[in-house]
Structure 1
């Protein structure tokens, strides 16, 4: 871990190891920057946390995110490389492996530049890897709570080309034994990807909210536009989002207590009879919105992800075993390569880089740099947006798709430094880079599929 001691010219000493390129994003609780690593090839993403609202030091949200990220290690989850603190102003910086692409930019490229759908192999590979990472998180009792295309990264050229990384854990929580009901955390999940139980005021919710968001992302990969694009009401801490519910009901039909037994207990269902209960939505047509045949395996999986009742909604583990992933084309580890011989690879642009923003988020980083049409920065890893032709992908058997703990991040007990215990709220120690230990597994709910991680890419079933 680096700190601000030994600062030169008012800048933290750890910055000497990087050349700042610019801002690549703005997360839930901070800014994300792209930086070149000096003295060796490569780039890194650095997330700077905003000051705590009280202005009295490091944000509890930052500490929570660090504690979670240090305890997890999986190929389909972004890797925390290092943590830096500038003691002068108690600003906190997290360094991650840099991912060149994200699903938002990939979808936008197909919609605005190419004007044709993402190929089936890429959709299936992106979705399978997203589910694989999410199954790992859920198996370790972590809900992400902010899944959306811009938070699903995809690695560029290199050993992990085309590998999906779930990112931005600013809203993530351990949900096995929360210290207080999760609804007290306030609004979660960007509205277009927010599950109906949240929209109707549920005070308790589970990992099923993540699966609803995955269903929305799946549909967006197929159609290149958000499935439920409601207009958000702002102002109060948790306002009633009637327009978003209206968008969902028009596609999926009106929810009923028969299909969703606990529906009648939800606050907004009870309190807004005029708009919610009285307004009937006929002829639901999810298949027509996503252009899928109702008997197809893709439609079957999507409809199970968008099940109204969270208890009936498919889990990540069960989704990974769905027949959709056992049919040609099988998903592969590199989602960005052609699925057929002779098929041309798509040259996906890198994530946009704002070269006018420095670590303080205000002034110019350096003399103006030209940014290519692919939004890549010349001379950096981000410039390698051209995908070279590769051989046709094949399924790669992997054990849980895990990365073994490496030496990239120096040991650092953020919990002890923050005056917090090294245990999660359920007082169950989590092991870095492995599935939950046996004593933790015994405490799990008996939910279908909430057990072991997926053991690798599916093998095609023999058809007789």
Structure 2
């Protein structure tokens, strides 16, 4: 996160600067730049995400369209980031989209790396909010597929919002066609069944990621930091032990299955050895989330009801979405068609907002614990990020990687 004294590298186009005053640049990624701005109309500070080169490739246009549609579908939930405004150039020649959202102090990655003291109450509240938002997502038959600390935004009052739906997919998507498309990021938080090509994928892939995030909160660093797919698998096996035969038989990759069977049988490492200061309930939840077999992993509803989260759990205040998300647009691959669809989404959004209507549902608010209010600090200096888990330049699947390594 840039210091407010630095000169911003970003310049807003005229159609954007008419309403927003650029305050500072917050960060850059592969798909765009995020900046803090002041809304001249409301006087509030917002985050503006500039998504650039949207129509350079069909995969980028699809990702932008997916993100906008999903954020609109989930609008109104406190633990999912919402769109406040969207802007593009007036003509259809636009190649950039500016999305205005709530301004949050930091992401969870930055909070963990900043080494500010966090208590078990912080861990509980963060995990509770992740699960509360994820319940809403899963109830619409959507898999987020990219849950990680960097995609969890946090403010000074410990309020947390899930962001970045660019890799999301529907539960009913074909598992053989398209499910792995774009799925090259975030190796450290990826469920083993994704790497090992299990016969089918379920909402359990997101629950594995929640377990990895809990482990990172408890230990202050990622649990499984694999250099590549094979190393990632080895690190998982080194902690969870060798899976039983029934689980191994469901691995779709024959080469990966043979590789695991060829290894010496590994024992489970007790969680209390890895996290001796963690509470028994925290370790029990961690154990139930980080199960190698996805069928043994807790669902998000079961996680919310776990004793570790009982201080916040209230089934009446953990809504499900009333509608399944429509992924039918995924069949469109023509850039011009997707540009028209994005333009239509923006126009419909603006019509609803101009008419005084909410773009989402009116939902109950999550209670905020008084003892945690106002005690999260935004990191004053940029936090160095390790992108090795995100920038994967090697083989695209574990089969290819095992073959390359001579297995």
Taking structure 2 as the reference length, the TM-score comes to 0.70
Partner of residue 227 from structure 1, selected from 223, 239, 258:
223
CA drift of 1:46 comes to 1.4
In structure 1, stretches of 5+ residues that fail to align are 1-8, 233-240, 332-394, 404-413, 423-430, 436-452, 459-464
Report the 3-state secondary structure (helix = DSSP H, G, I; strand = E; otherwise coil) of the residue aligned with 2:43. Answer: coil
Is residue 90 of structure 1 aligned with residue 95 of structure 2? yes
Moved more, 100-109 or 36-45: 36-45
**Corresponding residue for residue 317 of structure 2:** 399
Partner of residue 244 from structure 1, selected from 219, 228, 232:
232
**Corresponding residue for residue 80 of structure 2:** 77
Report the 3-state secondary structure (helix = DSSP H, G, I; strand = E; otherwise coil) of the residue aligned with 2:249. Answer: helix
Partner of residue 418 from structure 1, selected from 337, 341, 351:
341
Partner of residue 314 from structure 1, selected from 298, 315, 339:
298
Mapped partners of 1:177, 1:421: distance in 2:
24
Report the 3-state secondary structure (helix = DSSP H, G, I; strand = E; otherwise coil) of the residue aligned with 1:105. Answer: helix
Distance 1:179 1:85, change over 3 A: farther
**Corresponding residue for residue 297 of structure 1:** 281
Count the aligned residue pairs: 327
**Corresponding residue for residue 209 of structure 2:** 213
**Corresponding residue for residue 450 of structure 1:** none
CA drift of 1:434 comes to 7.2
User: How big is each residue's C-alpha offset from its partner over 1:223-242, in whole Å with a ceiling of 9 and x where there is no partner?
Assistant: 1010001113xxxxxxxx10
Pairs within 5 Å for 1:383-462: 399-400=317-318, 417-418=340-341, 432-433=360-361
Mapped partners of 1:11, 1:282: distance in 2:
58
Distance 1:147 1:419, change over 3 A: closer
CA drift of 1:50 comes to 2.9
CA drift of 1:96 comes to 0.8
CA drift of 1:109 comes to 1.6
Mapped partners of 2:305, 2:59: distance in 1:
45
Report the 3-state secondary structure (helix = DSSP H, G, I; strand = E; otherwise coil) of the residue aligned with 1:231. Answer: coil
Distance 1:225 1:275, change over 3 A: same
Distance 1:308 1:166, change over 3 A: same
Report the 3-state secondary structure (helix = DSSP H, G, I; strand = E; otherwise coil) of the residue aligned with 1:185. Answer: coil
CA drift of 1:95 comes to 1.1
User: How big is each residue's C-alpha offset from its partner over 1:274-306, in whole Å with a ceiling of 9 and x where there is no partner?
Assistant: 64221124332141112267x922221111111
Is residue 257 of structure 1 aligned with residue 175 of structure 2? no
**Corresponding residue for residue 147 of structure 2:** 147
Mapped partners of 1:419, 1:218: distance in 2:
36
Distance 1:273 1:198, change over 3 A: closer
Moved more, 164-173 or 13-22: 13-22
Report the 3-state secondary structure (helix = DSSP H, G, I; strand = E; otherwise coil) of the residue aligned with 2:100. Answer: strand
Is residue 104 of structure 1 aligned with residue 109 of structure 2? yes
Mapped partners of 1:275, 1:57: distance in 2:
33
Report the 3-state secondary structure (helix = DSSP H, G, I; strand = E; otherwise coil) of the residue aligned with 2:296. Answer: coil
CA drift of 1:63 comes to 1.1
Contact 2:21 2:38 in 1 (8 A): yes
Report the 3-state secondary structure (helix = DSSP H, G, I; strand = E; otherwise coil) of the residue aligned with 1:130. Answer: helix
Mapped partners of 2:207, 2:101: distance in 1:
25
CA drift of 1:36 comes to 2.3
Partner of residue 266 from structure 1, selected from 251, 254, 257:
251
**Corresponding residue for residue 3 of structure 2:** none
Mapped partners of 2:12, 2:242: distance in 1:
59
CA drift of 1:186 comes to 3.9
RMSD: 3.6
Report the 3-state secondary structure (helix = DSSP H, G, I; strand = E; otherwise coil) of the residue aligned with 1:418. Answer: helix
Mapped partners of 2:45, 2:199: distance in 1:
42
Mapped partners of 2:206, 2:225: distance in 1:
18
Mapped partners of 1:418, 1:179: distance in 2:
25
Distance 1:140 1:456, change over 3 A: farther
Contact 2:136 2:319 in 1 (8 A): no
Taking structure 1 as the reference length, the TM-score comes to 0.62
Is residue 35 of structure 1 aligned with residue 40 of structure 2? no
User: How big is each residue's C-alpha offset from its partner over 1:232-273, in whole Å with a ceiling of 9 and x where there is no partner?
Assistant: 3xxxxxxxx100001111111112223x2xx324243x1146
Is residue 120 of structure 1 aligned with residue 116 of structure 2? no
**Corresponding residue for residue 363 of structure 1:** none
**Corresponding residue for residue 172 of structure 2:** 176
Mapped partners of 1:419, 1:38: distance in 2:
25
Mapped partners of 2:175, 2:65: distance in 1:
16
Q: Which runs of 4+ in 1 moved over 6 A?
A: 395-398, 419-422, 453-458
Normalized per residue, the structure richer in helix is 2
CA drift of 1:193 comes to 0.3
User: How big is each residue's C-alpha offset from its partner over 1:385-429, in whole Å with a ceiling of 9 and x where there is no partner?
Assistant: xxxxxxxxxx999733799xxxxxxxxxx999419999xxxxxxx
In structure 2, stretches of 5+ residues that fail to align are 1-10, 322-336, 346-358, 370-407
